[in-house]
C-alpha cells in the first residue's frame, strides 16, 4: 500500500456513502464524478493536487485523473467502476508510483478498477442504456471562479456526444448527505481540529512585537506539518493592527507593532478534512483595557451562539438571534446607541457596521462545506462559531472561532485546548 501521511478511513465507509447515494436515485440512473485537475502555475510548474471533495467522499481516492461511474439498478442496487491514472516508468522516476488497482480497491471498496484510458469506451457503453445521468457539478452559491473544472470539461464533452440524455445535478443530494458526519469522518475532523489548536497554542510564547506576520505563518506551518497535517486547510489569515478589520487578509506581509492585536484565522487539513479556528491575541502579550473589552464582548456572543446551537433550530433564525445578542454588546462598547437598536429590535441591521459576516458555516471536507440553503441543525453536524467585532476607526478587530459537533443536548468544542480566556492567552504568551 502506498504510504500516506494520514490514517485513511476504512473502505466500508465509502461503500456506505455510495449505498446511501444509490438509495436516493432512480433505477436506470448513471452517476459520473471526476477528480480535480492538477492546475498549472507557470513554465513547467504545477500546484499541489487538491482532490474533488465529492469524489473523496464517495471513494477515498486522493489522486488526479480519477473517475467514478455508478450504474443504479432496482431498489438502490448499484454497479461501480473506478478509473485510475496508470503508473508508468516515467511517472515512477519523476513523481513516484500511483495507486495500483489492488490498492485502489482496498481504499475504496470498489472491485471494478480500470485505467483512465478506458473512460471513453465505458461511457459510450453505459450511456446507451441510461435513463438519466447525475453529474457532479459545483453549484455552491458562493462559488465565483471562472476556471473550468475537470468535471465541467468532461460534462461539456458528454453533453455534446449525448444531447438527448436527461442530466441532473448531484449537488443537492451530496450537500444533504455530507452535512451529517459519520464516525469515521469525525475521527479525521477531530485530528484536524486537534492539530489546528495545538499548533497555534505552541507558537504563542514566541509571538512578540517586531515579528513579521509571515514568521508566525512559518511557525504555524512547521507545527502543523510535524503533526502530520499535509497543509493549511485554507490560505492562513494572520493580520495585525488595522488589518484585523480586513476579513480575508491573506498577504501576511507586515511587521507587528507593540500595542497591536493579531488576528489568526487558520486551520490544518488532515486526511482531506479541514480544521478552522480564529483567535485574536496582543502582540506584546497584554491586552489593553479597550482591547480586552472588545475581546470579552465577542467571547460573550460566542458563548451565547454555542448555547443556542441545538438540534431543530433553523440556521437563519440562529443567525438572527446572534445578531440581536451582538447588538447588546455593541451598545455596551458605545459603538451603537440603544435608540438605533430599538428601531429594529427583532433583527437590528445596524450591527452589520461592526459585524458583517455570518456566525457559522458548515465544516468538513471543505472549509465552507456544502449544505442545503438554510439548513436545520441536527445531531452529527459540524459547524464553526465565529462572531467578530471590527472597528476600523480604532484599528481594532477581534474574531473568535471554534469548531463544534452538535449533540442531542448541545455542542462539543472540537478545539478545546486552544485558549479562549484573556487570562489564558496572556499566561501562555508569557510562556507559563
**pLDDT tens-digit series, residues 26-63:** 999 999 999 998 888 898 888 888 899 999 999 999 99
Average pLDDT, the chain: 95
**Beta 132-135 vs 166-169: how paired, if at all?**
parallel
**pLDDT tens-digit series, residues 192-207:** 999 999 999 999 999 9
Interval 251-267 mean pLDDT: 98
Domain ranges of the chain: 11-179, 183-429
Percentage of the chain lying above the pLDDT 90 cut = 88
Q: CA nearest 149: which of 134, 161, 167, 136? A: 136
- How large is the greatest C-alpha to C-alpha distance in the chain, in angstroms? 74
Using an 8 Å Cβ cutoff, are 32 and 52 in contact? no
Residue 93 pLDDT: 83
Helix (H) or strand (E) holding 392: none
Residue 45 pLDDT: 87
Q: CA nearest 193: which of 275, 279, 278? A: 275
Residue 410 pLDDT: 97
Residue 5: band (very low, low, confident or very high) from pLDDT cuts 50, 70, 90 = confident
d(CA 303, CA 301): 5
Percentage of the chain lying above the pLDDT 70 cut = 99
Residue carrying the nine cell digits 505552541:
202
Residue 316: band (very low, low, confident or very high) from pLDDT cuts 50, 70, 90 = very high
d(CA 78, CA 97): 30
Residue carrying the nine cell digits 443536548:
409
Question: DSSP labels for 56-111?
Answer: HHHH----TT-EEEEEE-GGG-EEEEEEEPPP-HHHHHHT-----HHHHHHHH--S
Query: pTM of the prediction?
Result: 0.95
Residue carrying the nine cell digits 502555475:
41
Per-position b or e across 210-243, b if 16+ CB within 10 A of its CB: ebebebbbebbbebbbebebbebbbebbbbbbbb
Q: Does residue 420 carry a pLDDT above 80?
A: yes
Residue 3: band (very low, low, confident or very high) from pLDDT cuts 50, 70, 90 = low
Which cell goes with 224?
502543523
Residue 47 pLDDT: 86
**pLDDT tens-digit series, residues 169-223:** 999 999 999 999 999 999 999 999 999 999 999 999 999 999 999 999 999 999 9
**pLDDT tens-digit series, residues 265-301:** 999 999 999 999 999 999 999 999 999 999 999 999 9
Residue 2 pLDDT: 55
**pLDDT tens-digit series, residues 381-403:** 999 999 999 999 999 999 999 99
Fold of 11-179: Creatine Amidinohydrolase; Chain A, domain 1 (3.40.350)
Residue 415 pLDDT: 98
Sequence-distant (≥ 6) Cβ neighbours of residue 46 within 8 angstroms? 38, 39, 40
Task: Name the more confident of 45 and 124.
Answer: 124
**In CATH, what is the architecture of 183-429?**
Alpha-Beta Complex (3.90)
Amino acid at each position: 500500500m502506498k504510504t500516506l501521511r494520514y490514517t485513511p478511513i476504512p473502505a466500508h465507509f465509502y461503500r456506505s456513502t455510495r449505498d446511501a447515494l444509490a438509495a436516493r436515485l432512480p433505477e436506470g440512473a448513471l452517476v459520473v464524478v471526476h477528480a480535480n485537475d492538477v492546475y498549472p502555475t507557470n513554465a513547467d510548474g504545477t500546484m499541489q493536487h487538491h482532490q474533488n471533495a465529492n469524489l473523496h467522499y464517495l471513494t477515498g481516492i486522493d489522486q488526479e485523473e480519477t473517475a467514478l461511474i455508478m450504474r443504479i439498478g432496482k431498489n438502490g442496487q448499484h454497479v461501480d467502476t473506478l478509473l485510475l491514472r496508470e503508473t508508468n516508468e516515467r511517472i515512477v522516476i519523476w513523481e513516484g508510483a500511483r495507486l495500483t488497482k489492488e490498492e485502489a480497491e482496498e481504499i475504496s471498496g470498489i472491485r471494478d478498477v480500470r485505467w483512465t484510458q478506458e473512460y471513453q469506451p465505458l461511457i459510450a457503453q453505459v450511456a446507451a442504456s441510461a435513463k438519466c445521468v447525475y453529474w457532479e457539478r459545483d453549484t455552491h452559491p458562493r462559488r465565483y471562479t471562472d476556471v473550468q473544472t475537470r468535471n465541467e470539461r468532461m460534462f461539456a464533452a458528454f453533453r455534446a456526444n449525448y444531447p438527448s440524455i436527461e442530466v441532473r445535478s448531484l449537488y443537492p443530494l451530496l450537500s444533504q448527505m455530507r452535512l451529517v458526519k459519520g464516525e469515521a469522518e469525525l475521527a479525521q475532523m477531530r485530528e484536524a481540529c486537534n492539530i489546528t489548536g495545538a499548533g497555534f497554542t505552541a507558537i504563542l510564547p514566541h509571538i512578540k512585537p517586531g515579528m513579521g506576520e509571515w514568521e508566525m505563518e512559518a511557525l504555524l506551518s512547521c507545527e502543523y506539518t510535524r503533526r502530520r497535517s499535509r497543509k493549511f486547510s485554507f490560505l492562513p489569515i494572520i493580520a495585525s493592527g488595522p488589518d484585523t478589520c480586513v476579513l480575508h487578509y491573506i498577504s501576511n506581509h507586515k511587521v507587528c507593532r507593540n500595542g497591536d492585536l493579531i488576528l489568526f484565522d487558520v486551520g490544518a487539513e488532515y486526511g482531506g478534512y479541514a480544521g478552522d479556528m480564529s483567535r485574536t491575541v496582543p502582540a506584546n502579550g497584554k491586552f489593553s483595557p479597550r482591547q480586552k473589552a472588545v475581546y470579552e464582548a465577542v467571547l460573550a456572543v460566542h458563548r451565547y451562539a454555542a448555547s443556542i446551537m441545538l438540534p431543530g433550530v433553523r440556521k437563519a433564525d440562529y443567525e438572527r438571534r446572534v445578531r440581536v445578542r451582538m447588538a447588546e454588546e455593541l451598545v455596551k462598547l458605545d459603538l451603537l446607541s440603544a435608540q438605533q437598536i430599538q428601531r429594529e429590535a427583532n433583527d437590528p441591521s445596524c450591527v452589520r457596521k461592526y459585524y458583517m459576516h455570518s456566525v457559522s458555516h458548515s465544516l468538513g471536507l471543505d472549509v465552507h462545506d456544502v449544505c442545503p440553503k438554510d439548513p436545520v441543525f441536527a445531531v452529527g453536524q459540524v459547524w464553526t462559531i465565529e462572531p467578530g467585532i471590527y472597528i476600523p476607526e480604532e484599528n481594532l478587530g477581534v474574531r473568535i472561532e471554534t469548531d463544534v459537533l452538535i449533540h442531542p443536548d448541545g455542542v462539543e468544542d472540537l478545539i478545546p485546548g486552544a485558549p479562549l480566556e484573556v487570562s489564558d492567552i496572556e499566561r501562555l504568551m508569557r510562556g507559563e
